[in-house]
Chains A and B, each alone.
Chain A
Amino acid sequence: MSVPEPGFLERHLRERRAAGAKLLVPYVTGGLGPRWTEVLEAMAAAGADAIEVGIPFSDPVMDGPTIQEASQRALELGATPTAILDAVDAVDAGVPLVAMTYYNIVYRGGHRRFAHALSGNGVSGAIVPDIPLEELDPWARAAESEGVETVLLAAPVTPDDRLALICERSHGFVYGVSAMGITGERQSLAASAGVMAKRLKAHTDKPVLLGFGISTPAHAVEACAEADGVVVASALMRRLLDGASPDQIGSAVAGFRQALDAG
């Protein structure tokens, strides 16, 4: 895949939103099994608007048991940032890709080199949850110079003044954390989700997506009452860990797609 045009992620999501779609961004852990890039392709074919590709880290403090296990398994299978990005480069998903990792992976690679490796391998955006606003500059400078869109997270406890800054400095979309906590499946959508999305929408016209705990198509529909879209991770990775094929993951993503399209 060639270097994405700068701003592809946000432009694509805005266009889809303008066309009336609710945005669906599934997640796959890079390197999780020999067929993980087929999973990525199946997600795209099933109607994903963008795809998050996890670059696993040994100590994922924001992640619950499912993504922890997925990360650990991928690392045991030899996943490295370079191998994952090389594999991504060979795929033509047709939708923007967003790398999701932790700051030490970026820091070790070198800000500029890591940003360059993303854009050079067809990845449009990056999510690095353990870089708060105060520590953002070195990465943001590198990302901007390489045309990588950095998606920032906001949490239910984030006060309004920080929320405004997060919305201003986030590119691609703004990621609202639906509930205080870590990633992982939940029985129901947290009450904080709708409030989170509403607060973000009041600050920005960038696409606002909710993530963390979106486990079923019904949750996704409920979240999209306020948000422009959702990120779905653990619910899909649990299936993959349980042995689902790329086609089966594709079907699960299609289930979310259909529910969102039906409203």
Chain B
Amino acid sequence: MESRDTAALMREPTPEGRFGRFGGRFLPEALVPACQELEAAFRAAWADPAFHDEYLGILAANGRPTPVSECRRLSERLGVRVLLKREDLTHTGSHKINNVIGQALLTRRMGKTRVVAETGAGQHGVAAATAAAMFGFECVIYMGEVDVERQALNVFRMKLLGAEVVPVGSGSRTLKDAINEAFRDWVSSVETTHYLLGSVTGPHPYPWMIRELQRVIGDEARGQCRAILGGADPDYVVACVGGGSNAAGTFAGFVDTGARLVGVEPAGGAAVGRGIPGVVHGSLSQLLQDEHGQIIEAHSVSAGLDYPGVGPEHAHLADVGRAVYVPAADEEVLAALRLLATTEGIIPALEPAHAVAWVIRAAGTDALPTGSTVLITMSGRGDKDAEHVMGMLDAG
């Protein structure tokens, strides 16, 4: 374990893009100049108050700030006080909008006119297609064939928004392969095209930049929680982790408080929990891989978490002990989705249902003692999963 000086955590990475021993920029030379250009554009924009005004102004027109709501019936049932940060109430229905608006503004600043993106659950694809429509960019979304099938509604939404959706049939035909294909497009098109990556993964500056673009979740929630809790911070802050963007944005608002930070990974894709350091998609992080270095396919009921890697900053937060990462299994996720629906009238996406599942499992144990206050980031709404969940509940 390194120093637990939390004041130094979740700041800028080193010039090489390192968070502790993780991160970096592991890319072919052909893409290095584009990452340097993006880094320079982001640095300049993030230091420019006019950029923040425009970014926050657009987010305000798309549902921000999102509320923090109390879960009275669920809290009573679990014996812990549950608050939800409602990213599900944004335009397009998930936290992904925060990131894409920021990157669309950067795309325009760099003078590029085309964006490519990967998507798993389709939420990032829908958000990217939405931003592309707003800014008039050409937009191509890569999506694994397995996900095209299980998130059919989002495929249709992306097409309605004017994006081209390219099904990816290689490898595991899920998110990891969609990312491969997006990189392949980008290396051929980099002069006109920005790769609008969807999570805190990838080469420097993406993990840092996307955490910063998502920190609006945590920054808002911190003030909102203090208002609700009489000036106190929650005891626990919980978010699901695929690549880790909603968790990183949430944690960024609480890393310097006393709150315990908990990332919930799918049991079949627990990169922090069960991974080994390795390099894929441009950064060094914890990674599910075999003894030879071949990437192992993740397996999760949730397309958005079906990824064998994780953002490098999460690997670092785990390394230094500032956050813990715990698994949730498919069955308990489905049960959690139902419980939240029937007690609170909120149908969560399968991804944040992982965070809810851990809270349900841990409540009343040493991991989450009775009487604690817990903030969960409700990263997205469940509409996209309705058909898929219907099938599973019928079958099971």
Report whether A135 and B292 are in contact in the complex, using a CB–CB cutoff of 8 Å. Answer: no
A185 to chain B, nearest CB (A): 14
A56 to B372, CA, bound (A): 50
Report whether B278 and A108 are in contact in the complex, using a CB–CB cutoff of 8 Å. Answer: yes
Q: Say yes or no for A204: interface residue by CB 8 A criterion.
A: no
Q: Say yes or no for A142: interface residue by CB 8 A criterion.
A: no
A22 to B166, CA, bound (A): 41
Q: Beyond the given A59-B281, A61-B187, A153-B28, could you list 4 further A-B residue pairs with CB under 8 A, ordered by the A residue number?
A: A59-B295, A134-B16, A134-B25, A180-B189
A60 to B187, CA, bound (A): 13
A72-B30 in contact given A59-B180, A80-B292, A180-B191 (Cβ < 8 Å): no
A139 to chain B, nearest CB (A): 11
Q: Say yes or no for B194: interface residue by CB 8 A criterion.
A: no
A68 to B169, CA, bound (A): 11
Of the candidates A60, A104, A130, A155, the one whose C-beta lies within 8 Å of that of B289 is: A104
Report whether A132 and B188 are in contact in the complex, using a CB–CB cutoff of 8 Å. Answer: no
Number of chain A residues close to chain B: CB under 8 A: 41
Report whether B187 and A182 are in contact in the complex, using a CB–CB cutoff of 8 Å. Answer: yes
Report whether B25 and A108 are in contact in the complex, using a CB–CB cutoff of 8 Å. Answer: no
Report whether A104 and B293 are in contact in the complex, using a CB–CB cutoff of 8 Å. Answer: yes
Q: Say yes or no for A57: interface residue by CB 8 A criterion.
A: yes
Report whether B292 and A108 are in contact in the complex, using a CB–CB cutoff of 8 Å. Answer: yes
Report whether A59 and B279 are in contact in the complex, using a CB–CB cutoff of 8 Å. Answer: no
User: What are 15 pairs between A and B in contact, CB < 8 Å?
Assistant: A58-B294, A105-B292, A105-B293, A107-B278, A108-B292, A132-B26, A132-B27, A134-B25, A135-B24, A153-B29, A154-B29, A177-B29, A180-B190, A180-B191, A182-B188
Of the candidates B26, B189, B280, the one whose C-beta lies within 8 Å of that of A131 is: B26
In the bound complex, residues from chain A placing their C-beta under 8 Å from that of B26 are: 103, 130-132, 135
Number of A-B residue pairs having CB atoms within 8 Å of each other in the complex = 115
Q: Say yes or no for B171: interface residue by CB 8 A criterion.
A: yes
What residue in chain A is nearest B184 (Cβ atoms)? A182
Report whether A155 and B29 are in contact in the complex, using a CB–CB cutoff of 8 Å. Answer: yes
Report whether B184 and A166 are in contact in the complex, using a CB–CB cutoff of 8 Å. Answer: no
Q: Say yes or no for A4: interface residue by CB 8 A criterion.
A: no
Report whether A177 and B30 are in contact in the complex, using a CB–CB cutoff of 8 Å. Answer: yes
A153 to B24, CA, bound (A): 19
Of the candidates B30, B176, B180, B293, the one whose C-beta lies within 8 Å of that of A157 is: B30
B112 to chain A, nearest CB (A): 14
Q: Which residues of chain A in 154-174 are interfacial with respect to chain B, using CB atoms and an 8 Å cutoff?
A: 154-159, 162, 166
In the bound complex, residues from chain B placing their C-beta under 8 Å from that of A153 are: 28-30
Taking Cβ atoms with an 8 Å cutoff, the residues of B that contact A are 16, 24-30, 32-34, 170-171, 176-177, 180, 183-184, 187-191, 276-282, 284, 287, 289, 291-295
What residue in chain B is nearest A132 (Cβ atoms)? B32
A39 to B26, CA, bound (A): 32
Report whether B293 and A132 are in contact in the complex, using a CB–CB cutoff of 8 Å. Answer: no
Q: Which residues of chain A in 73-90 are interfacial with respect to chain B, using CB atoms and an 8 Å cutoff?
A: 75, 80-82
A162 to chain B, nearest CB (A): 7
A104-B170 in contact given A134-B16, A157-B190 (Cβ < 8 Å): no
Report whether A130 and B279 are in contact in the complex, using a CB–CB cutoff of 8 Å. Answer: yes
Report whether B295 and A104 are in contact in the complex, using a CB–CB cutoff of 8 Å. Answer: yes
In the bound complex, residues from chain B placing their C-beta under 8 Å from that of A166 are: 29
A175 to chain B, nearest CB (A): 10
In the bound complex, residues from chain A placing their C-beta under 8 Å from that of B279 are: 103-104, 107, 130
In the bound complex, residues from chain A placing their C-beta under 8 Å from that of B293 are: 57, 81, 104-109
In the bound complex, residues from chain B placing their C-beta under 8 Å from that of A104 are: 278-280, 287, 289, 293, 295
A11 to B69, CA, bound (A): 70
A158 to B34, CA, bound (A): 10
Report whether A61 and B183 are in contact in the complex, using a CB–CB cutoff of 8 Å. Answer: yes
Q: Say yes or no for A94: interface residue by CB 8 A criterion.
A: no
A159 to B30, CA, bound (A): 10
A28 to chain B, nearest CB (A): 19
Of the candidates A59, A105, A135, A158, the one whose C-beta lies within 8 Å of that of B25 is: A135
B150 to chain A, nearest CB (A): 22
B108 to chain A, nearest CB (A): 21
Q: Mark A34-69, 1 if CB is under 8 A from B, else 0.
A: 000000000000000000000001111110100010
Report whether B30 and A180 are in contact in the complex, using a CB–CB cutoff of 8 Å. Answer: yes
A151 to chain B, nearest CB (A): 12
Report whether B28 and A129 are in contact in the complex, using a CB–CB cutoff of 8 Å. Answer: yes
Report whether B170 and A132 are in contact in the complex, using a CB–CB cutoff of 8 Å. Answer: no
In the bound complex, residues from chain B placing their C-beta under 8 Å from that of A158 are: 29-30, 32-33
What residue in chain A is nearest B297 (Cβ atoms)? A58
What residue in chain A is nearest B15 (Cβ atoms)? A134
Give 8 closest A-B pairs by Cβ, nearest first: A108-B293, A155-B30, A181-B188, A58-B294, A105-B293, A61-B183, A58-B295, A104-B293
A114 to B168, CA, bound (A): 32
What residue in chain B is nearest A152 (Cβ atoms)? B29
In the bound complex, residues from chain B placing their C-beta under 8 Å from that of A60 are: 180
B145 to chain A, nearest CB (A): 15
